[in-house]
């Protein structure tokens, strides 16, 4: 049994000594002390079904034994910085990662995070093209340093620091967008930005295939091929941010961009690449990578021996345990169950996503699509009380983000469905309490 500090004590220290911007989803934040595949355990030994996976970071499962063994064995032998000496782990991992890429995407740069990966990708695009202007999509998230905060397009993640040279194109949002699912219509905005907002030449374009932080929004079909073509005509490079949609999570493909029939010039990744270990990467072509050949560019810890063996183990586990196929099958079933719930509860405005990257958007009015922010939080809190953890996101905070470890099973979906249904019931009955306390509204969870 766990004998360490308890939640109240940790919370007090956190409030006194840690970043005040850090937030918790729950009224009483959990002190998680152990993880095992799709389960997490709190200080009292209570088990939770993890349908969030640390925001899509846990690919193979919490403390997957093969990943843990790789980390422990390497730690016992050698942990070191990445630079100056040869190391077998980083070379083997780079080769394995390159083999998962289409086309000429064969050169890997390792980083410690998604932000660093995207900063490097944007810098390379600017160096390679000699242009500065970048186009990203509204509602996207790419990181919190200079260039990546500029590319990020949600006010809650943008601060008053210098963020130059990024234009934010209309989001090809299939739920709220003006053109529904007509991707090429949204792509016209990128042409207009190039024509009216730049010299006609751009450094590049960056996008997630499915916006994660933005509330699991899959780009409308036909959008990426049209945009990639416009960007390339303007001399720019196309960057795919696979931080959430990569590593088999979408089920139908290993990378999110593959569902859109495009081949990027640069691919960035983090989160799922390390099953929870701090690791990120940029993969590009030898020709683009060459821009750094005559410069001193290094990253002290990116791809260090311990993280590299972890990443290699993750790739092997995904293959061996057929996790992509599992994400496809279990994700399909999950979406089916959630869609059946949508037929029953008017508060569910949209069920979307791919594989085990699924979103459920809550609205108080299906026609007006009014965000049901308070209700989203309420149901989430209920589910936690019932032992199921999920995340939320979207600019307005009214979307459930369901991104479990890829070992999630059909039985887990059954249990998830059972708990979300009963939390709707419980929440319905205490809804008045919530609505009085928070918003004064009394509609929302009407059964249709």
The smaller minimum CB distance to ligand PMP, of residues 264 and 444, is found at 264
> What's the closest the beta carbon of residue 145 comes to ligand PMP, in angstroms?
8
DSSP string, 212-239: TTTTSEEPPTTHHHHHHHHHHHTT-EEE
Q: Quick one: how far is CA 281 from the chain centroid?
A: 15
The secondary element (H helix, E strand) that includes residue 39 is strand 39-42
Segment 84-90 long-range contacts (CB within 8 Å, at least 24 positions apart):
87/305, 87/308, 89/305, 89/308, 89/309, 89/312, 90/303, 90/304, 90/305, 90/308
> Residue 130: how many CB atoms within 10 A of its CB?
9
Residue 376 near residue 362 (C-beta atoms within 8 A): yes
Binding residues (CB under 6 A) for ligand PMP: these are 113-115, 118, 141-143, 208, 212-213, 241, 243-244, 270
The smaller minimum CB distance to ligand PMP, of residues 241 and 350, is found at 241
> What's the closest the beta carbon of residue 117 comes to ligand PMP, in angstroms?
7
> What's the closest the beta carbon of residue 387 comes to ligand PMP, in angstroms?
25
The smaller minimum CB distance to ligand PMP, of residues 43 and 208, is found at 208
Helices 373-385 and 410-429, axial angle in degrees (round to 10): 120
The smaller minimum CB distance to ligand PMP, of residues 216 and 292, is found at 216
The smaller minimum CB distance to ligand PMP, of residues 143 and 183, is found at 143
> Residue 321: how many CB atoms within 10 A of its CB?
16
The smaller minimum CB distance to ligand PMP, of residues 105 and 185, is found at 105
Both structure tokens of 438? 């928070």
Which residue's CB atom is positioned nearest to ligand PMP? 114
> What's the closest the beta carbon of residue 142 comes to ligand PMP, in angstroms?
5
The smaller minimum CB distance to ligand PMP, of residues 173 and 208, is found at 208
> What's the closest the beta carbon of residue 345 comes to ligand PMP, in angstroms?
28
CA angle 329, 314, 103 (to 5 degrees): 80
> What's the closest the beta carbon of residue 293 comes to ligand PMP, in angstroms?
26
Spatial distance between the Cα atoms of 40 and 390, rounded to a whole number of angstroms = 12
> What's the closest the beta carbon of residue 268 comes to ligand PMP, in angstroms?
7
């Amino acid at each position: 049994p766990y004998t360490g500090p308890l939640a109240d004590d940790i919370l007090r220290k956190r409030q006194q000594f840690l970043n005040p911007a850090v937030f918790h989803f729950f009224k009483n934040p959990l002190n998680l002390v152990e993880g095992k595949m799709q389960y997490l355990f709190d200080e009292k030994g209570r088990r939770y079904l993890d349908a969030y996976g640390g925001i899509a970071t846990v690919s193979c499962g919490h403390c997957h034994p093969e990943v843990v063994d790789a980390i422990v064995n390497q730690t016992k032998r050698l942990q070191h910085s990445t630079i100056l000496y040869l190391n077998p782990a980083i070379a083997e991992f780079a080769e394995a990662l390159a083999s998962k890429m289409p086309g000429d995407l064969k050169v890997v740069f390792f980083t410690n995070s998604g932000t660093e990966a995207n900063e490097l990708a944007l810098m390379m695009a600017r160096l390679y093209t000699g242009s500065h202007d970048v186009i990203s999509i509204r509602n996207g998230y790419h990181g919190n340093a200079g260039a990546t905060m500029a590319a990020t397009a949600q006010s809650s993640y943008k601060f008053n620091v210098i963020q130059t040279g990024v234009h934010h194109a209309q989001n090809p949002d299939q739920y709220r967008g003006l053109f529904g699912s007509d991707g090429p219509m949204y792509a016209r905005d990128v042409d207009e930005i190039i024509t009216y907002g730049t010299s006609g030449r751009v450094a590049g374009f960056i996008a997630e295939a499915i916006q994660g932080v933005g509330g699991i929004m899959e780009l409308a079909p036909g959008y990426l091929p049209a945009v990639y073509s416009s960007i390339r005509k303007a001399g720019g490079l196309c960057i795919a941010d696979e931080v959430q949609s990569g590593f088999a999570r979408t089920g139908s493909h290993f990378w999110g961009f593959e569902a859109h029939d495009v081949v990027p010039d640069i691919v960035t990744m983090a989160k799922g690449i390390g099953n929870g270990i701090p690791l990120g990467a940029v993969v590009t072509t030898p020709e683009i990578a060459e821009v750094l050949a005559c410069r001193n560019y290094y990253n002290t810890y990116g791809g260090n021996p311990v993280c590299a063996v972890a990443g290699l183990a993750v790739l092997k586990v995904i293959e061996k345990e057929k996790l992509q196929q599992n994400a496809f099958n279990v994700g399909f079933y999950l979406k089916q169950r959630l869609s059946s719930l949508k037929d029953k509860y008017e508060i569910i405005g949209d069920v979307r996503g791919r594989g085990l990257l699924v979103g459920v958007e809550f609205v108080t009015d299906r026609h007006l699509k009014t965000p049901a922010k308070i209700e989203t939080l309420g149901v989430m809190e209920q589910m936690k009380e019932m032992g199921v953890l999920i995340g939320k996101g979207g600019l307005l905070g009214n979307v459930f983000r369901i991104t479990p470890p890829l070992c999630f099973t059909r039985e887990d979906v059954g249990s998830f469905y059972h708990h979300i249904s009963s939390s709707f019931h419980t929440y319905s009955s205490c809804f008045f309490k919530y609505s009085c306390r928070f918003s004064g509204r009394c509609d929302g969870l009407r059964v249709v």
